[in-house]
Amino acid sequence: MAAINAVKIFSGSASNYLAKEIAKYYGKDLGAATTLRFSDGEMSPSFDESVRGCDVFIIQSTFPSADNLMELLLMIDAARRASAHYVTAVIPYFGYSRQDRKDRPRVGIGAKLIANLLTAAGADRLMTIDLHAGQIQGFMDFPVDHLEGTAIFIPYLKSLGLENLTFASPDVGGVVRTRNMAKFFNANMVICDKHRKRANEIASMQLIGDVEGANVILVDDLIDTGGTMCKAAQLIMDKGAKSVRAIVTHPVLSGKAYDNISNSVLTELVVTDTIPLKEECAKIKVLTVSELFAKAIGRIRDHESISSLFIKY
């Protein structure tokens, strides 16, 4: 019989590699769950142990395929129907977050739809890191713990001992994130202003600011094909920078991303393990978010503030 309000951590199929590490740092074994699949691909997740009266944390990033999202929703529903006391969806990479508004006629708002689905499934809380747009938190009708990747990236950057740092935003939308990093290091900031023809295709880009002789750090929340990042890196080097690195929380890395990065002027691309890499790349370094999420789970369990997990700028 499960202890009342005991914490139990489970994982969907796509994030099992990360969930094991989170559970390890938290100090518990990962809960037992099974996902049965019918021959046509339909799935039926179930918990192999009691969750009655427990605080359940279900870990699953919602990167493609859509099965990852559906499995998470079914697991939330299963936990609720099994009389869990409290269900937290831990979504390290919140898929569809780029669709946070109507940016052209006759399109859906994917991030809001996902929020509605989480509510309908029975989630009581969301824990995630570096949403594409912070205002997505307002789409939820329940508490959101929005962690920041800076808690992981800043110690790594400090360990490099680089001088004459300058931080760069690869687009106007990432200015706030980049400014916070620059403020922490008391460094300058520049902006790459881009114009897109269509998704994943850039028509033009120009640099606002001076990078002459600087070690430049590009900052972004996610990298998809790598087109923007690699073009920004080349532009920065052409303007006289000494080196250019990129720190990105979510390595979506689709299409020709790995080739783009390997053939770019980037010294390295530093990412986290919210999404597993599809292949090895000498220029990509992976930092783990597992300890950060484990600490956040502990603070939620103890009804403590998670603000101590944030870097003070």
**Residues forming the active site:** 194
- Other CB atoms within 10 A of residue 273 CB: 20
Which of 297, 293, 255 lies closest to 15, judged by CA? 293
What type of residue sits at position 228?
T
CA 278 – CA 299 distance, rounded (Å):
32
The edge-to-edge listing of strands for the beta sheet with 144-147 is 7-11, 55-59, 86-91, 125-129, 144-147
Retrieve residue 302's tokens.
Answer: 């103890």
- The separation between the first and the last C-alpha atoms of the chain, rounded to the nearest angstrom, is 46
CA 241 – CA 235 distance, rounded (Å):
9
- Residue 172 to residues 166, 175, 206, 208: CA-CA distances in angstroms? 16, 6, 11, 10
- Residue 29 to residues 8, 19, 20, 52, 235: CA-CA distances in angstroms? 9, 10, 8, 18, 47
CA 245 – CA 264 distance, rounded (Å):
11
H helices of 219-256, where?
227-238
